[in-house]
Amino acid sequence: MDELFSLTLKLHGSFVGILLLMAVFNYFFLNKKLDLVTLKKRVRAVLPSYYLVLSLILFTGLVLLGAVQFKNIYFVVVLMITVWLFVLVMSIKTYKKMKFLQTEEIESYVAFYKKKYIIDTVLLFVMMGIAYMAV
């Protein structure tokens, strides 16, 4: 059981790191001037992998909780779940907003998209710091 826990904890941390890198990459990818079609294609290409990593984080987190038999649900675990839900909801809002995007709204969408990834990055860094201090 200790091997399962330690391996899953390493995977969980790795997936959070990958999500952090993806958020930083997506932020810088938006600094180019893009037309509407190119922007939609890039967002549609990036979001599935973002959702995949989010689901892997959820899965490994649930395996970790199962490994400790759901006995140790501390404030940090509730905070992690809250941050995960916030990131997921903001990603869904980003995609929903992109579906109905018009050419004249590109600037406001890119600003919203950049804000979303800055918030994701800050939340992930803060959550990683809190999680490592709690251990």
Maximum CA pair distance of the chain? 56
Residues 60, 8 contacting (CB under 8 angstroms): yes
d(CA 45, CA 61): 26
Please state, for a pLDDT cut of 90, what percent of the chain lies above it. 27
Per-residue pLDDT, 122: 93
Exposed, middle or buried, 124 (CB in 10 Å: 0-12/13-18/19+)?
buried
Tens of pLDDT along 84-105? 999 999 989 888 888 888 888 8
The pLDDT assigned to 89 comes to 93
Q: Report the pLDDT value the prediction gives residue 29, as an integer from 0 to 100.
A: 81
Coil vs helix vs strand at 53: helix
Q: What is the pLDDT of residues 21-42, one digit of tens each?
A: 998 888 888 777 777 888 888 8
pTM, 2 dp: 0.85
Residue 135 has what pLDDT?
64
